[in-house]
Structure 1
Amino acid sequence: MRSTLWLSFFAAILAAWWVMYAMSLDMDLDLLGRPGEMGAAMAAMDPRMPMYMPMANFGPLFWMWAIMMAAMMLPTLVPTLRVYEDLMVSANGTRTGWLGVLLGYFIVWVVFAAAITGAQLALLFGGVIDMLGIARSAWVGGGLLLIVGLFQFTRAKEICHGVCHAPAMYFLGHWRTGFAGGLRMGLGLGAFCVGCCWGFMALGFVGGVMNLAWMGLATLFMVIEKLPQIGHLVTKPMGILLCLAGLAVMIGG
């Protein structure tokens, strides 16, 4: 049972990344989000044109973001699920509770996917980003890098990262048994995770939401940030790097 669940978990992550890759091919983008001839034409389209454009409609765009949540955020949950497994013997945890934690966590990120879909459409129709989700202005892109970088030093980041970095303390303080209990804990963990990592999703508007290399790097950092041994060592250095990158983009633009 344990092996089956873990294999299914990692298979879902791989499938999500494969779907993202297939979508980028359909949009004529390479792994760096650089458009070919068709992709460049798509990026230049006016979303107010009287024709159907998936990236300018809530439904297709929401599913793209929901799949991206699975691809990017499920890997960051591995340390948390491992901690739950460690507590299964000592705290009467169950496999159904494990599934509840996973489902609750993902539900929160799907809600976030709906929110960021709405934000992307507002930015698109406002002329702030293009059809590929990339900021049209260096000031917008650089400003976003700067905002996310500064957030790394805030108390809100510290609190949310503390829960993500040490989920055992959250479990001990909010322990519930069974599937319903796991679901409830997963919802709480997901909320703290959104509070910790929202900025790295928003940075998709800088490098391109379909730039798989850019989003892959963001995923890698979020996984490292949640590792119990070293996670607390990388948060502020990343904030410095993001702030410097933001200033460089604004000055260079």
Structure 2
Amino acid sequence: MSDIVRSGLWLAFFGVILLSWWWMYAMSTGMGLDLLGRPNEMAQRMAAMDPRMDMYMPMAEFWPLLMMWAGMMAAMMLPTMVPTLQAYDDLIRSANGSRAGWLGVLLGYFIVWVLFAAAITGAQLALLFGGVIDMLGIFKSPWLSGALLIAVGAFQFTRAKEVCHGVCHSPMGYFLGHWRTGFAGGLRMGLGLGAFCVGCCWGFMVLGFVGGVMNLAWMGLATLFMVLEKLPQIGHRITKPLGVALIIFGLGVLAWPLAT
């Protein structure tokens, strides 16, 4: 029976990931956006026919925007949690863990990311009404886009990134040092792991303001980067190269207006 429960929980977990990606795709197409988060042909034609119509205008109210960001967190961050849940799974027999604790870890992790979603929702609305970003969530100034890329790239070399990434990259060590049993114990550990994960990956999230917060291609690429960073075999080897790539990209964005 325990193997059946285990398989069912993992299947449900991956089902939530697939559902989250489908939801983001449905939201994007429903707003008349393509996979790059830009107005598609039909939306452009309809807007040209009646300029007063905002056919592809993303949400500009807190609660709808929060739902979008929460869905985005589920789609992007749950795949990165596989090594963490697998590590807890390995400890169920040897350290008196439980399936309830496994669910607690998952819930605590997601709670932290939803809180981060609320914070970035507020930031997006402030930037929008301050005229810094457009309705697609993209910086209006290439200087800001380039500066953000460089800042996120530079963060890859900081001690804070190293510490947070160390916990995300090796969750077994965190579990052994903070082990608590039962659902409440799992929830507590999940909150802690989620906090370290936000500290590790926040930069990839805010880069949505460079490419568009509903850019599904960016979401997929950022998810790939974060998954690779957490793989035990190669995660510690790619953090700084990713930082170099982001800095070079940012410098290119800054140089582009000067070259044109």
TM-score normalized by the length of structure 1: 0.94
Residue 235 of structure 1 corresponds to which residue in structure 2? 239
Q: Percent identical across equivalent pairs?
A: 76
Choose which of 2, 5, 26 in structure 2 pairs with 1:22. 26
Residue type of the alignment partner of 1:16: S
Residue 161 of structure 1 is matched in structure 2 by 165
Q: Does the Cα contact within 8 Å between 2:104 and 2:183 map onto a contact in 1?
A: yes
Contact persistence 1:109–1:194 (CA under 8 A): yes
Q: What residue in structure 1 maps to residue 89 of structure 2?
A: 85
Number of equivalenced pairs: 246
Contact 1:94 1:177 in 2 (8 A): yes
CA distance in 2, matches of 1:39, 1:128: 23
Q: Please list, as runs of the form range in 1=range in 2, the aligned pairs for 1:71-150 lying within 5 A after superposition.
A: 71-150=75-154
Alignment counterpart, residue 219 of structure 1, candidates 220, 223, 241? 223
Give the superposition deviation at 1:39. 6.2
Pick from 173, 178, 181: which aligns with 2:182?
178
Distance in 1 (alpha carbons) for counterparts of 2:58 and 2:44:
13
Query: Are residues 1:2 and 2:41 paired?
Result: no
Aligned: 1:64 with 2:84: no
Give deviations 1:61-86, integer Å, cap 9, x for gaps.
Answer: 00000000000000000000000011
**2: CA distance between counterparts of 1:178 and 1:233?**
35
Runs of 5+ consecutive residues of structure 1 not aligned to the other structure: none
Matches within 5 A, 1:43-62: 55-62=59-66
Pick the aligned partner of 1:248 from 245, 248, 252: 252
What CA distance in whole angstroms lies between the structure 2 residues aligned with 1:114 and 1:33? 21
Cα separation, 2, equivalents of 1:17 and 1:54? 17
Contact 1:29–1:39 (8 Å) recurs in 2: no
2:176 aligned partner, one-letter code? L
1:65–1:117 Cα contact (<8 Å) kept? yes
Task: Give the 3-state SS of the residue equivalent to 1:56 in structure 2.
Answer: coil
Task: Classify 1:90/1:36 alpha carbon distance in 2 versus 1 (closer, same or farther; 3 Å).
Answer: same
Distance 1:39 1:59, change over 3 A: farther
Aligned to 1:36: 40
Structure 2, unmatched stretches of 5+, are none
User: Within the alignment, does 1:195 sit opposite 2:233 as a pair?
Assistant: no
Contact kept? 1:27, 1:39, Cα under 8 Å: no
Deviation at 1:34, TM superposition (A): 2.3
Cα offset, 1:91, TM superposition: 0.5
By how many angstroms is 1:231 displaced? 0.2
Distance, in Å, in 2 between the alignment partners of 1:57 and 1:107 is 21
Between the aligned partners of 1:217 and 1:210, the Cα distance in structure 2 is: 13
Structure 2 distance, partners of 1:181, 1:241, is: 39
How far, CA to CA, are the matches of 1:247 and 1:128 in structure 2? 20
Question: How far does the alpha carbon of each residue in 1:198-227 deviate from its partner, in whole angstroms, 9 at most, with x for none?
Answer: 000000001111110111100011001001
Kindly name which structure, 1 or 2, has the bigger radius of gyration based on alpha carbons: 2
Q: CA deviation at 1:36?
A: 2.4
1:54 and 1:60 in contact (8 A); partners too: no
**Code of the aligned partner of 1:157:** K
Q: Is 1:80–1:167's contact at 8 Å kept on the other side of the alignment? A: yes
